Structure 1
Amino acid sequence: MTIDNLLVNIPPSLIFALGACLRAHLGAVQTAEHAGMIILLQMLFGYVFDASNQSRDTDEDRINKPHRPVPSGLITPAGARRRFWCVMPVYTLVGWAMGVVEWVLLFQAVVTFLNLLCPPRAYLWCKTPCMILGVVAQLAAAWQSVAPIDSTAWRWILIIAVPFCLALPFEDVRDMAGDHAIGRRTPALVLGEWPLRVWFAGLLAWIPLALHYALFLPTHASGPRILLCDTALAIACWTPALRALLLRNTAADRLTYQLLITAYIIMTLTTPALWY
């Protein structure tokens, strides 16, 4: 159920929590404990999102993602919804035990609204704000599970979360057939595929420069270390940007989207790279 989103659910939070551990000068044992807890939290994070999403989007998944449990016949939509409501209190309790319950509650509210309450025709206006809140909750929980969120941490959380979420509508390019079948209004269907590709490429071209000046330079890390982060992030962002413009078919778009997730992981990876 969660395989499609494992890459976006676990590595960014784990890396971000590692950055917080390094900044707090924690030892190896404490760091390992925090890592284990954040992996558990993010497994629940991903499960509540995917169970609720897949309980409602059966018709779309039959076209776009037939390998998922509901369209493949492994479970029913009602069964996915029961799993969602069973895991929700477990997720809340784990968040409470880790001292991040407010971020868990925020994510639960976002997921319930976006996946269960938001009508398909309002999806165009609802998805991006919900994704921003969800990623902020993800990164804030990862940080706060280790240490209080100070102004520096908030700057990193927001400057990473907002550009990444503004690029996320590109995933709708690969899913246009299923979205059209269920009447969902996505940016790709409303604005057109080509304008969305141009937006996506321009945004990813800008992200490395924005992070360099807004996040990397204020750390006062050494020049070679900043250059390494700049280079890795530029490759990670500019590769899917070029692919979005030059390779325009469903198979290529699926890989381009996965490369966007890789760029998100590289963004979070700069925290331990620059603070160690």
Structure 2
Amino acid sequence: MSHFAATTMHHALRHLGTAWLFTRSDFKTMIFPAMMFGTVVSPHYDMPALFCTFCWLWFHVFQFNVSNQSYSAHEDVLNKPWRPVPSGRISVKDARTLRWALMVFCLGLSSLFGSNVVITSVMATVFIIMNDDLRLSDHPVFKNLCSTGGYVIVEFASLLILSREFALDGTSIKALSCSTLVVLLTVQAQDFADVNGDRRSGRRTLPIIAPEGSRIYMLCALPLISFALASVWSLGPLSSLLFVSMGSWAGIRYYLFRDEIRDEANYRLYNIWILCVHLLPVNARFHALAW
């Protein structure tokens, strides 16, 4: 291999590594849940559609994270020093240039799947601007609203691309509504492990402004929401018991275990619970959780 080819390969691998680090955290929080949601809820799909959905989701999550992390480098030094900006793999200026380039690319990618997906991509960009450029992420309520909007957008897009339909059926609408409410009511779960960095940056999240109340809320909300979802999706006795137990255990952990390391573990358990939330509509399609 020539020196030029070796150098080119090295730079390409480094850029791929940087892209991976920008999106690493959100495979479990957005990409996998949205893929599972679309796969379970969509009336029909095929393997090419699954691949296209994954690509759309990854590039839009990439766009969001490059924008968000270009503004949060000072807190990421404490919370997530391995991210590309605080670790020095890319400068803030270059990250913000990349962010706008990704916006154009994502709109072009969306145009391959129809006007509704393009509109969804535009809405995603609007939420990114509201969250980052307008600094709504500094306000606890608006931060949750922006996060919820982002979740709903990627889930809606996954349904559109997978099903290749412009009209959603009753199960799809019901599933999207439930997902929206669940994320809106529980998305602050991601903020507990980041309290130190958020406080340093001046951000006011719910765990900062109400440290005790926010944990009591998680203790109560997760089991109650689990019970409500088990009823909404008509789960069987054993499925209901397992799902409600998982939500209850996650809520108990948030209340009892309060150091940063355990809050990271709590958030991992919450993400497993969210995956299960997105799996529940399978009972409406195939009665797979009626036992």
Give TM-score scaled by structure 2 length.
0.83
Q: Hey, what does 1:54 align to over in structure 2?
A: 69
Asked if structure 2 preserves the Cα contact closer than 8 Å seen for 1:226 and 1:274, the reply is no
Work out whether 1:210 is the aligned partner of 2:228: yes
Partner in structure 2 of residue 173 of structure 1: 192
Alignment match, 1:137: 153
Out of 189, 203, 210, which is 1:184 matched to?
203
Deviation at 1:273, TM superposition (A): 4.8
Between the aligned partners of 1:230 and 1:82, the Cα distance in structure 2 is 48
- Distance in 1 (alpha carbons) for counterparts of 2:238 and 2:90: 46
Which position in structure 2 is the counterpart of 1:34? Answer: 49
Could you say which residue in structure 2 is the equivalent of 1:27?
none
- Quick one: which amino acid aligns to residue 34 of structure 1? A
* CA-to-aligned-CA distance 1:154-199 (integer Å, 9 cap, x gap): 22112122222321213222112111111111112222x1111111
1:110 aligns with 2:127: yes
Distance in 1 between residues matched to 2:113 and 2:272, nearest whole Å: 27
1:253 to 255, 258, 263: 263
Match of 2:5 in 1: none
- What corresponds to 1:164 in structure 2? 183
Q: Secondary structure at the match of 1:175?
A: helix
Where do 4+ consecutive residues of structure 1 move more than 3 Å? 225-229
Q: Give the secondary-structure state (helix, strand or coil) at the position aligned to 2:204.
A: coil
Please list the CA deviations of residues 69-120 of structure 1 after superposition, one character each: whole Å capped at 9, or x if unmatched. Answer: 1111111111211221111112112222123222221111101110222166
Equivalent residue number for residue 103 of structure 2? 88
Give the structure-1-normalised TM-score.
0.87
Give the one of 197, 203, 221 matched to 2:215: 197
Q: In structure 1, how many angstroms separate the alpha carbons of the residues matched to 2:249 and 2:185?
A: 17
Counterpart-to-counterpart distance in 1, 2:219 and 2:178: 18
CA distance in 1, matches of 2:246, 2:101: 38
Match of 2:144 among 128, 131, 153: 128
Quote how far apart the aligned CAs of 1:274 are: 4.1
Aligned equivalent of 2:278: 268
Task: Structure 2: give runs of 5+ residues left out of the alignment.
Answer: 1-21, 287-291
CA-based RMSD:
1.8
Q: 1:15, 1:272 within 8 Å by CA — same for their partners in 2?
A: no
Matching of residues 57-72 of structure 1 within 5 Å: 57-72=72-87
Match of 1:226 among 208, 232, 236: 236
Matched residue SS, 1:10 = helix
CA distance in 2, matches of 1:52, 1:46: 10
Structure 1 unaligned regions, length at least 5? 25-29, 218-224
Q: 1 or 2 for the larger relative contact order (CA 8 Å, sep ≥6)?
A: 1
Distance 2:104 2:276 in 1: 32
Compared CA separation, residues 246 and 110, structure 1 to 2 (3 A) = same
Count of matched residue positions in the alignment of Structure 1 and Structure 2: 260
- Whichever residue aligns with residue 225 of structure 2, its letter is I
1:16 aligns with 2:32: no
